Chains A and B, each alone.
Chain A
Amino acid sequence: MSLDLPLIWAGIIATAVLLYVLLDGFDLGIGILFPFAASPQERDVMMDSIAPVWDGNETWLVLGGGGLFAAFPFAYSALMPALYLPVILMLLALILRGVAFEFRHHGRTRGKAFWTAAFAGGSIAATLAQGLVLGGFIQGVTLEGRAFAGGPFDWLTPYSLLVAVGLLAGYTLLGATYLIWRTEGELQVRARRWAWISAGATAALLAVVSVATLLAHPRIAARWGFENGAFDLATLAPLAPIPLLGLVGLGVVILGIRRAHQATSLMGAYLVFLSGYIGLAVGFFPNIVPYDMDFRQAANADNALGLMLVGVVILLPAILGYTAWVYWLFRGKVGSGDAGYH
């Protein structure tokens, strides 16, 4: 029996990162929307809607980082030094917003105000940092052999800043549509308005980022059939379903917001993210460190990948099972007036 272990692991890591974005995306989005809430009570409800699940959602980030270390050590040891400052910024921001879940309940007047600000500021900073990491990743990393050989600010370009702002809009959309699902009354009305604005911003920025990517990164453009000013329909046609998926997602978002129907708008936003995610993957697969290291060169030893695959096959269904159970347990609309177990 011979399994293509590096390929399987590329799929596992890609899934972990996608799940992180989809799940923690709405957590961060709620933090981004925090300053726009009408009252402290509304903020309590917003936070309570994610309090039982945010920790599990963030664990996918640990699986993404830890999994990259364990499955693709050469990618991990090239990317992390290359993206040193935005990664550290992300970690510090996640710390501030993570402790805010508890600290906000225990603070008195000034303490509570401080941790409210920390939750919002941390969420915004973490999102921008993730956008900068993504932008820096798409731009490509300078390697010498298998090690990073670039400068400390290689990741900082107008392009990466644009990606960061785009991700900010996208996570806001996830947060707003999650709130449409989980809240009711005035807060839901407000969430719908936030969703309209952020859906527009997300659509516009996604389009701008896509065009910028094609213009600024010829290697990605070539994958999409754009080369030397001409474009090749035969290359583009099979990929057309990907942007189409994004458009369908946008339609579902609009439908979901109009009817304020359950999780419909959130699912639409998920389709938009999925379209962007696959669209990016088309641009650099099989590279795992664009554009000089593919996932096979970066992969760990087969015996390590094999051992871990046994673990994943046994444990991942269990993890997905109890995660789904926890979401099911805490289903329904979040009310105000009951501030948790505090």
Chain B
Amino acid sequence: MELDALILSRLQFAFTIAFHIIFPSFTIGLASFLAVLEGLWLITRNEAFKALYLFWVKIFAISFGMGVVSGVVLSYQLGTNWSVFSAVASPVIGPLLAFEVLTAFFLEASFLGVMLFGWKKVGPGLHFAATTLVAIGTLISAFWIISANSWMQHPTGFTTLADGTLRAVDWWQVIFSPTFPERFAHMALAAYLTTALVVGAASAWRILRRWGQDGPQDEEASRLALRMAIGMFAIVAPLQLLVGDLSGKDVLRVQPAKLAAIEAFWETRTEQPFHIAAWPDRAAEGNRFELSIPKLGSLITAGSASAEVKGLKAFAPEDRPPVFIVFWSFRVMVGLGLLMIGLGAWGVWLLWRTRGPEYSKPFLRAAVAMGPAGFVAVIAGWVVAEVGRQPYVIYGVLRTADAVSPVGAGQVSASLLAFMVIYAVIFSVGVLYILRLIAEGPETPPQEVDEPPGNPLAAGTKGAAP
């Protein structure tokens, strides 16, 4: 494959957006978790909730900062690398992204300052309001970005003009395109699961690290957080399976080529088998190897074993998405999702039938091992969604190859290399600092025990207004 500006721009976009999505998918859930913790603290005055808040807010600050700076990149990269896409699609999705900035980014950025530094400046009620507004802001942001993405996956409510640019004719159909509700629910639940897995893993690790002679030490905050995480696994993970299935039914209806790639179906037929594993080969137009269950493919995708489901050969070769990566990413995502359901069931059983999950070392170890599973599943899911809609960037309307900027391969390789180096540095350092914080744990209070930490302005405030 020749490394031209197109493939380099695709690599750069995939790399920068995959890096970026790690942080929102964690901070969306974490912001809500913090709002719940602060609310519970205000109601119950149980100090363990406050300890948990003060602990997780530090991790939130690091992750949110990394999400912000990697997100700024994306708002410029559409123009630097995808200028044709920008000119063609902006009349339709431009307002969606503008609304994201206006409704979410300013809200998050401003109240984050109050959330982190405002402890001594505002009362507890107002501080709780700031945390809640940040949490709402993260969800509003997800709303707009998934709205834009859903429209690009299945565009509705627009028309194409003679000069090739698009026009919205029905904003409602653009913003709430038919596949949007399922996609938004799927992403929001994914974010909540990702956060719950990290919280569960951190709490379990903490309990394991301080394991005493007679079992777990008195770690109230960690036990509490572990139980909250188990509750989330038990409710959200099965729900995610249902929502994911709804989303899959959408794919069958509006992106049959993507569905065929997800399942590595080549022939159009009834009674499609389900491939547990396969080696799809685009050149040979078939699977070099497959491990299958007969008829189950039609049953899962279309609801009936006798349903006819299209295979990839029904589409011209130039209209087929890459199969191998889509097929396997989907299996990684679903496999991890099933493990999450299993972890939740195990945790609930331990809560119900034993002294508690904190006494089961195997469960705690499993919870630690599953800590990063949410991130992997989110990225795998995005690969399915975004690689699966190739060769189109706006499905059926604009091909990715026609969307790229008139820039040279030299510039794009330089920028891609620079992004890789700098992201590698900030990612490893960020993860290191977060792990260090997790190792310290919520039970290690900072300097002050009885008072929330102060803010940088407390010492010398003279109340001088401008």
Contacts and interface: CB of A to CB of B under 8 A. Distances in A.
A292 B330 CA distance: 48
Given A67-B101, A106-B436, A149-B406, A331 B167 contact: no
B101 A63 contact: yes
A244 to B, nearest CB: 25
A85 B426 CA distance: 21
A222 interface: no
A307 B80 contact: no
A55 B406 CA distance: 32
Interface string A71-93: 10110111111001101100110
Contacts of A319: 102, 106-107, 110
B411 A84 contact: yes
B118 A329 contact: yes
A307 B95 contact: yes
Interface string B79-113: 11101101100111011011111110111011111
A80 B99 CA distance: 21
B411 A335 contact: no
Interface string A301-324: 101100110011001100100110
B466 A69 contact: no
B284 to A, nearest CB: 39
Interface stretch (B236-244, B272-280, B383-391, B453-461): B453-461
B51 interface: no
Contacts of B111: 322, 326
Contact of A52 (B91, B116, B167, B171): B116
B75 A62 contact: yes
A327 B457 CA distance: 12
B457 A84 contact: no
A95 B422 CA distance: 8
A73 B118 contact: no
A304 B94 CA distance: 8
Contacts of A301: 91, 167-168
A338 B110 CA distance: 21
A339 B437 CA distance: 17
Contact of A311 (B75, B98, B116, B121): B98
A44 B460 CA distance: 14
A308 B99 contact: yes
A96 B76 contact: no
The DSSP consensus for interface residues of chain B is helix
A287 B111 CA distance: 37
B83 A303 contact: no
Given A70-B98, A88-B415, A328-B465, A99 B69 contact: yes
A277 interface: no
Given A62-B75, A69-B78, A81-B406, A338 B458 contact: yes
A179 interface: no
18 contacts: A52-B117, A55-B110, A62-B105, A66-B101, A67-B101, A80-B76, A80-B80, A91-B72, A96-B426, A103-B426, A103-B433, A262-B466, A303-B167, A311-B103, A330-B113, A332-B457, A338-B456, A341-B61
Interface of B: 54, 57-58, 61-62, 65-66, 68-73, 75-76, 78-81, 83-84, 86-87, 90-92, 94-95, 97-103, 105-107, 109-114, 116-119, 121-122, 167-168, 171, 405-408, 410-411, 414-415, 418-419, 422, 426, 429-430, 433, 436-437, 446, 453-466
Given A52-B116, A106-B433, A335-B456, 7 more contacts: A59-B109, A66-B101, A84-B415, A96-B422, A98-B72, A304-B90, A308-B99
